[in-house]
Structure 1
Amino acid sequence: MTSSTRRRSTPASSPETSAALYLRRSSRKDLGANRSLREQETECRALAARLGLDVVEVYEEQEGTGASMRSRKRRPKWEQALADLDAGDRFRTVIVWALDRADRRGADVLAGLLTRHAATGRRILGVDGTDTSDERQRLATIIRGEIAREEAENIAKRVTRTKRTRRADGRWLGGRPPFGLRVVEGRVEPDPDTAPVARRIADEVLSGRSLWSIAADLNAEEIPSPSGVVKGWRVNSLSQILRAPAFAGLQSVRERKPSGGWPAIADVYLDEETRRPVSVGVGVITPAERSRILAALESRTREDARDVRRGKREVRSLLGDVLRCASCGGRTSVSGSGARKSYRCAALATGRECAAPFTAPRDALESYVGERFLTTLSTLEPSDDLLVEVAARWVARVEPGALADRQEAEDAVAALDADLARARRLAVSGVLTEEEAAEEMSRLRRLRVEAVDRLAALPTPAIDVSPLLDLVQSREAWEGLPVDERRSLLPLAIHEIRVLRASGRGVRFRPDERVEIIWHA
C-alpha cells in the first residue's frame, strides 16, 4: 500500500469539531497487536463518533515506514498530519490507533509535542487512551513513548542479529536479487529468463567492450532493462549489476554512511573467523570472473579508482562532489589523460540527453575554484564557523588519534547523562521504587565522574585558524593536502559549482565567464 491522503468532499464542520485519522502498519508479517489499516480506521472512526468529531481527512502511511529514530526513514504523511494539525484551519484533533504506532522517537520528541499542544489547544487522541492535551497524562505518555522507543531499538537489534546470522549462513537477506538471478529457498541461482542476457553482458565486459557500447546495443535490440523498461539500459545500471557481490554468488554487506544513507553498491561479506567470502548461491559469474571484471571497470574509470586493499575510493578529481553541468544540472566526469584531462557533463559518457553539455580543462578549473575557496577563507573573521571547521579538519588530519579519543570520551559522558535523565524520569513516574532509583542513580553518577575524569585527562588539540587568514600560508597548506582531503573541505563552503558550455569551438577557457560558484548561505 502506498502513502495516501483521503479528504472528505462534503463541507467540513468547524476545526474544533473536526478530526483527521493517521494510519500506519509496520509490516504484513507483524501480526498480533498490529492492526491492519482498515481495522485501525474502523476503530479510529468509532472513537471520533463517540466524541462527536467529524473525520475530514485520513492520512495513510506507506507500509514498512519506520516510526523510530533508528530507522531514519521519513514518514511524509505523519509529518504532513502534524503540520496540518499545527495550522489548525481544518481540524485540531488527530486520532491514531496507538501513539507508538505513530511515533517511537522517545521522550524528547514527545515532550516537545505535548508542550506545543498544551499551548495551542491541539491534541492527538489514541484508541489506546492517549490524549496529548490532558496534562494529567503528560508523564505517563512520555514514559510510554520512552518504552516504545526502547522497544523499537530492541526490535532493530534483534533484526540486526538475525541478519548477521543469516548472512553468515549464506542465506539471502531479502529484496530483489541482481539482474540475471532469482531466489530459491533462500539462495540465489541463475534465472532462466534473464541469465542469458546477464551472462552476455559479463562476457562482453571480459572481452574488453565498454559499458556505454553494451548499453547502446541492448537498447538498440530493445531488450528490457532490469526495471522492465525498453531502451532503459544505462551505464550506471550495468555497473551496479556487475559490481553486486551476489552477481558472483557472494554474500554482501552494507555499512551505513555517516549521513544516514546507504551506499548503492554493497561490499563482499567476509566470514568473521576465516575472513573469506561467504557464498549465497550460484551467480551468473564466478568470483574469479568478478575480480577480472572489476579490474577492467576500474582501469577505465576516469573519476575514481578503487583502492582494493582498503575498500575505499582513491579520489582522482577535486570537484566531483560539487561540480554540475549548468545546462542539465547533472553530475560530471573526467576524460582525457595527462595534462589534457577535462571535466565534462556526464551525459556525454552515459548517453543521457543534455542541450548544452560542457567540457572544461581540469587543471585550470580546479585551480580557479581552489583560489576562490582560499580567498573566501582569508576574508572571514577568526571566529567564523567555516574557518574553525576547516582548521578542525586539518587538526583531524595531523592528530587523528587525539580527536578520536576525545570524541569517544565525550560520547561516553553524553550517554551517561542520557541514562541519568531516563532514570530520573522512571523514578518520578514510579516505574522504579525509591530504593531502586537511589541505587541506579548512585551507580550512574559514579560512572559519570569516572568518564568526566577520563575526558579531562585527554589533551585538547589546538585549532589555529591564523594560517587560513594568510593566503600565502593557506596556498602552501592547500597544495600539500591530498586530493581527497581537499575535496572534503570544499563542500563546507560551496553548495554547487555550475559550468557553462563554451561559446564556440576552440574558445579559450575563461572561468570568470563560464563558472558560477554557489556558496552556502
Structure 2
Amino acid sequence: MQRQEDACRLYAAQHGMEVIEVFSDNSTSAFSGRVRPAYTAMLDRLRAREADAVICWRMDRLHRRPVELEDYAEVCQGGRKDSPILTYSVTGGGEINLSTADGLLRAGIMGQVARFESATKQDRARAKSAQLAADGRWTGGRRPFGWDVADGRLVLNPREAAALSTAHSDVLGGRSLGSIITQWNDEGWEGKPLVTTASKPWGYAQLRQALLRPRNAGLYEYRGEILSRDQIPPIVSEAVWRAVVKTLEAPDRRRSQTNKAVHLLSGIAQCHCGEAVRSATVYGRKDPSTGEKKKHTVYRCPAKGEGHVAKREEFVDAAVELWVFRFLAQSYRAQPESPQDRAERESITLELEALHVREREAGSLLAQGGLTMGQMKEFNATISRNRVDLERRLTELGFHQAEGLDATEKIDREWYTTEQRFNAWLALPIDDRRDFVRSKFHIVLHPHKVGSARNFDPDTVSVHIKRPGESRRVLDGGEISQLERVTLGPDSALWLQRFQSNRFGSTYDRSRAQRERFAELAEEDPALAQIAQHLESRRAGVSITPVGSA
C-alpha cells in the first residue's frame, strides 16, 4: 500500500496537483462487494465538490463491478459535464474523463479485464488446491479439528480424533449436540476443555459443521464431487459418517440450539393422540393449613379439546425411571463391527470407487466422440441410481453398527450391578438422561379412568421398548392407537410406591403382606425380581449381588 501511495503522490507532483487527502481500504478487495469505509468517505467528499481530481494506482483499485463504476461516474459528473472531476490512473490509463463516452468505455474495459484476470487466478488456485488435497497434501489455512499438519500432510490428532469419533457414535445413539458441547467445554474434562482450532469454546453450529464434514470419513469433496477416498486419515468409517449426516439432516430432528434442559420427558413423552407433551405449571387445591394453592409442574398435551392428558411431572418421571431401572436389569451390550459387516462395508466402498472410475471413463469417451449426449445422459442416470442404492446400504450398515452405542454405553460396560448402573444413569446430565430415554423408549400417556384423576395411576404411563434401528423414530397418532398398553404388571401402583419410597426417601409401609406380595411377583418376572432386590438392599443398607452379564 505504501508503494502505491508513493507512486500516486509522485504522479501528483509531476502534474502540478496538490494531494489534500489519502483514502485507503487496506486488506479490502474491490472485488469482495463488502462495504469500504474509506471509499465511501471519498465519494462523500467528491459529492461536496471538495476535490477536482482522483489519482489511483489502477482503475481496478477503485472498483471492479460495473454498478460501482456507474455510481462513481455519476458522482464525478455531478450534473456538470463542463467541469467534471477527472480520474488519473498511474499505471496504464492516464487521464480518464468519465463524463465522456470514451472515458466510460476505457474505464469499463479496464475493470472487466482486471476482473477476468482475478477470476482466472482464482480458478487456477482452486484447481491447484483441489489437486493437492486429492493427493492428500495440506493446502494451507487453519488446520481442521481432528487432525494436525506434519510435513505437508494431515495426521490424526489423538485427543480430538477420539472425541470426534465418540461424538459420531453418540449422535447415532440419540445423544443431543448440546450434551456433547457441555462435555467438551467442561473445564474438568480430561484435565482441560476441548476447544476449536481457533481456541474458542464449542457452539451448536460449529459442532454440527464438524460432524457433517466428508473429511471425517477420509473423503475429500470438491464442489459436490468426491475426489479421493484414501488420502486423508479417516476418523470414522464412511458408513458411520453417512448415518450421522442422515441423522443431523433429518427434517424431523429437533432444531433446538440450546444445551439447557430442565424436564426429563418434555418433548419426548407423547399424549395418546400423538402430540409430544410439554411442561406447564398448574395450581392445585388450597392447603387447609396455609390457605395457599400448591403449585405443580405437569406434562400437558398442547392439543385443544377434551380427552388430552395433563399429569404431574414427578409421578410420570418416577414411573419412567422405574422402567429405566427395569431396562438396565436386562442384558444389552453394544456390539463391535462384525467380520461380515466389515466385509460388506469394504465391498460397498469398492463399488462406489468403481462407479467413480466409470464416470471418469465415460467423460473421456464423450470428449473423444465415443458417446453421444443421449447415451451419456442414460449412463449418468444409471450411475446415479446405483450410487443412491450403495449409499443407502452404507447408511443402513452404519446404523446397524451403531446400535447400542449411546450416551450410557460407559454405564453398561463399566458397572456390574443394576443398582450401580441406575445410580450412574441418575448421575448423568439431564441431556444425557433425556437422550437415553428418547433412544430406548416410546412413552405414551393415557387419560385416567373416569372419577380417578385425583390419584395417579402408573398404568396410564405406557412404556414401549424400541426395536433395533428405532432410536430416532417417533410414533404418530395412528400408530399409537394400534399399540397395546404396556404396564409393569400386577400391582404396578405398589411397585411405583415402593420404588418412590427408596428413590426419594419417603415413608413406605413394609408390612408382611406387602413383602409376601412382592415375593410372589418377583417369582413371576425376573426383571421385577431385580427391582425387588434393589429395594430390599436399599432398605437394609447393603449392596446387592453382582448380576454378571446383566
**Shorter chain as normaliser: what TM range?**
0.3 to 0.5
- TM-score, reference length from structure 1: 0.41
Instruction: Indicate the structure whose relative CO is greater, using CA pairs within 8 Å and at least 6 residues apart.
Output: 2
- TM-score, reference length from structure 2: 0.39
